[in-house]
Amino acid sequence: NEGNEYFRERDYRRAIVAYTEGLKKKCEDPELNAVLHTNRGAAQFYLGNYRSSLSDAIQAKKLKPTHLKAIVRGALCHMELKNFSEAIAWCEEGLRIDSKEKKLVEVRAKADKLKPEGTLLEICTDFSTRRQGRAVMGIDLLCLTERNIKLALEPSNDEEEISDGLAEISLDGFHSDSAMGAKVHLDADGNLNWPVLFLYPEHGQTDFIAAFHENSRFIDHLMVMFAELPPWDLERKYLPSNLELYFEDEERAETYELNPEHTLLQVLQHQRYFVKAGTPTVLAFVKHSPFSKNYFSGKKVHQL
């Protein structure tokens, strides 16, 4: 209620603080938490913090998949971020719930007109095929070769061995934005925005970022993702400053530790990074944790 009062007064910063305090109460009512995330996202939106607003919309939709206000907010955020394909996907999801939702119809039409054509890189992300090592591509690969970004070659047979590290993490039941067909795309400024998957092996959890700007740093996303500790982090260890990020070189069975201050593009340009199924993937561990030490025991680890 306090947050709503500040919102009506257009004091969005105080509204954000109030909604955050509400979320800290760890209420067991998912619908109320969805409303708190949606309202905080709205306040962030009016301050121009579109990525933070989108993060709240994603959290609200996880708590209540049919929450139209959260879906509308997510679509609007993608429009502001010029992620027109993602905006369309969010609109279509909302219109399946309410085909007459006026705002979604309007945003869908606007996104259709603004969506780049011709040079758009169509690498669709589909995790049911990703788990089999397949990708659907369409294709202007020039923007990848110009950036020295390498794609993993598809296997010649129907089955593919999964690396030891990733085999420990089950993606069954993973239902986030990947289900909306998130894909790498060029924005209006000619920059690539990638769907990126974060894996937390210790807890068998995942995070999915539908549009990770190639010039954004990993630490910036970690600050948003872990602004509040996730419910599965019972020991309260997953703080942005307490995390280490890695990627696996499956061909050589080696692992590389990333610098969180690096941008996504810097990582993708590494000579041993190969993008698989159109979705860059990173693994996150708590520094010096017993699980981390055990996980990397006997493995060759490089630092970027």
CATH class of 1-119: mainly alpha
pLDDT by residue (tens digit) across 243-272?
999 999 988 889 999 999 999 999 999 999
Which listed CATH number (3.10.20.90, 3.90.950.10, 3.40.50.1370, 3.90.550.10) goes with 141-152+174-303?
Answer: 3.10.20.90
Which three-class secondary structure string do you get for 249-280? ECCCCEEEEECCCCEHHHHHCCCCCEECCCCC
Provide the pLDDT for residue 182. Answer: 66
Provide the pLDDT for residue 118. Answer: 36
pLDDT by residue (tens digit) across 153-186?
654 444 344 333 333 333 333 333 333 456 788 7
Mean pLDDT score, 93-116: 87
pLDDT by residue (tens digit) across 54-74?
999 999 999 999 999 999 999
- Position with higher pLDDT, 133 vs 155: 155
- From the number of C-beta atoms within 10 Å of its C-beta (0-12, 13-18, 19+), residue 102 rates as exposed
Q: Where are the domains of the chain?
A: 1-119, 141-152+174-303
State whether residue 45 is helix, strand or coil: helix
Sorting pLDDT into bands at 50, 70 and 90, what band is 282? very high
Mean pLDDT of the chain: 81
Tell me, what amino acid is at 248?
Answer: E
Q: What is the DSSP string of 59-88?
A: HHHHH-TT-HHHHHHHHHHHHHTT-HHHHH
% pLDDT > 90, the chain: 48
